[in-house]
Amino acid sequence: MLELLRQPWPWYTSGALIAFVMVLLLFFGKSFGFSSNLRTICTACGAGKNVKFFDFDWRSQTWNLLFLVGAVLGGFISAEFLAGDTPLQISQATIQDLRELGFSAPDDLQPEELFSLEAIFSIKGFLVMLLGGFAIGFGSRYAGGCTSGHAISGLSNLQLPSLIAVIGFFIGGLISTFILLPLIF
C-alpha cells in the first residue's frame, strides 16, 4: 500500500477527488473556501468584540477549520513520510522561461532565488512578500472569497459572481506572469 501512495499519481486523480469532495459538500449544503478560515480563526480569538465583520457564530464553520487542519496535516505527512524517489519533472519550456527571468531550474518545487530564506529576508524579497500578501488579502476580501472558494465551490454551484472572479484571477495571473514578474526580477 505504501508503494502505491509513494509513486506519482496521474493528474486526473486530484480532479476526481476534488469532484467527490464537492459532491459531498453540495449534498450537505456547505461551500468550500480556505480564506474564510482566517475570518473564523480571528473570530474564535475574539476579534468580533472590536470589529463587526468578525461578529458571527464561528462554531458553525468548525468543519471548514477541520478541512484546513486536514489539508495541512495531509501535506506534511505526504512530504515527510510518503515522498518517493522520483525526481521532480519540470518541462523544458518552464525551465527556459525561468532562465530568461534569471532563475535557475528548481531542484524542489520553486526556484531558490525566489523562495529561499536569503531571498525572503532581503529587502526586495521582503517587499515582494509584503505587497503580494496585501494584494492577496485585499483581493480575497474584495472578491468575496479566494481562488479555491470561487473556482471550485462557486463554479460548482453555477454562481455568476464566481465565474467573473475566476476570469479576473486568470487575467491577474497573466498580467503578473508576463508583465509584473519580468519588471520585478
pLDDT of residue 166: 92
Q: Which of 43-52, 71-80, 95-104, 155-164 has the lowest mean pLDDT?
A: 95-104
Q: pLDDT above 90 covers what percent of the chain?
A: 25
User: Which grid coordinates are listed for 176?
Assistant: 503578473
* pTM, full prediction: 0.72
So what's the pLDDT on residue 185?
A: 78
Number of C-beta neighbours around residue 14 at 10 A = 10
Q: What mean pLDDT comes out for the span 133-152?
A: 86
Taking the C-alpha atoms of residue 21 and residue 19, their distance in angstroms, rounded to an integer, is: 5
For residues 173-183, give the mean pLDDT: 88
Q: Which of 140, 152, 163 is nearest to 71 (CA)?
A: 152
- pLDDT(3) > 80: no
pLDDT at 175 over 90: yes
Q: What is the largest CA-CA distance in the chain?
A: 53
3-state secondary structure of 181: helix
